[in-house]
């Protein structure tokens, strides 16, 4: 039986750890070839790539907090894939506080950094990908947003919530505008995921789990599995949709 992602070539951002690394493993296991990306943890990404094996085409270091880095990342990844990238998983992101009582300089700096990494870099990658996909007859975008994009977040993370809400709107717009060209776009809205971005102290973990009806955070592997399913094209009519992965902690 042919693997569901056989012949696919994929860029996964933020794939040195957490959801991105889990996605790299799942995509390769299902027959895809993957370009991995990391910012500061490049050595970890290369070690993981060696462990995953020949399904990894390469690892690219790129600091998405820098303007234009997303465009350059797509171009480099596409070159590694022989000009045949047809799936992008925009997973990289930061959860940085933007405290409302901070001084003006800190407030503006936090918003600028969060929006650059979580939104503008994603938009740049999507723009480059859509242009390429339209020329090639199609492709898939899978953008990792957050339940915070729908319900909001705590008062110290307004920039994060705003960035993820914008990613949802971007994804829906691309699905509507370029579906006729074979471009499919999906979003995922996880709640807490059991990675290093989740609370690391006992009290924080207990509070996070208390609000989740199934009693546990989502695993990175669960999110990765949904990315792989959407990338397979098994349900193309779901383009424009957002899949909630939060243990029913936020039900729309």
For the annotated catalytic residues, the residue numbers are 160
User: 3-state SS of the chain?
Assistant: CCCCCCCCEEEECCCCCHHHHHHHHHHHHCCCEEEEEECCCHHHHHHHHHHHCCCEEEEEECCCCCCCHHHHHHHHHHHHCCCCCCEEEECCCCCCCCCCCCCHHHHHHHHHHHHHHHHHHHHHHHHHHHHHHHHHCCEEEEEECCCHHHHCCCHHHHHHHHHHHHHHHHHHHHHHHHHHHCEEEEEEEECCECCCCCCCCHHHHHHHHHCCCCCCCECHHHHHHHHHHHHCCCCHHHCCCEEEECCCCCCC
* Furthest CA-CA distance within the chain: 59
- Distance, in Å, from the CA atom of 81 to the CA atom of 85, rounded to the nearest integer, reads 6
- Distance, in Å, from the CA atom of 92 to the CA atom of 39, rounded to the nearest integer, reads 9
């Amino acid at each position: 039986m042919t693997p569901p992602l056989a012949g696919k070539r994929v860029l996964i951002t933020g794939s040195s750890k957490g959801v991105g690394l889990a996605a790299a493993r799942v995509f390769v296991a299902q027959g895809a070839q993957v370009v991995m990306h990391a910012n500061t943890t490049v050595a970890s990404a290369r070690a993981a790539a060696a462990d995953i094996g020949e399904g990894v085409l390469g690892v690219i270091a790129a600091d998405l907090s820098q303007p234009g880095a997303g465009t350059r990342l797509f171009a480099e990844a596409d070159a590694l894939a022989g000009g045949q990238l047809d799936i992008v998983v925009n997973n990289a992101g930061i959860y940085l506080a933007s405290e409302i009582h901070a001084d003006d300089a800190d407030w503006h700096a936090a918003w600028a950094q969060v929006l650059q990494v979580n939104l503008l870099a994603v938009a740049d990658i999507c723009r480059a990908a859509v242009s390429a996909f339209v020329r090639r007859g199609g492709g898939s975008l899978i953008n990792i947003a957050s339940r915070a994009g729908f319900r909001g977040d705590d008062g110290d993370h307004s920039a994060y919530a705003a960035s993820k809400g914008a990613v949802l709107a971007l994804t829906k717009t691309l699905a509507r505008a370029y579906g006729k060209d074979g471009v499919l776009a999906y979003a995922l809205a996880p709640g807490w995921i059991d990675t290093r971005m989740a609370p690391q102290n006992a009290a924080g973990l207990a509070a996070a789990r208390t609000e989740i009806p199934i009693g546990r955070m989502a695993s990175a592997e669960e999110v990765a599995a949904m990315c792989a399913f959407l990338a397979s094209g098994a349900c193309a009519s779901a383009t424009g949709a957002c899949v909630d992965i939060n243990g029913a902690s936020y039900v729309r």
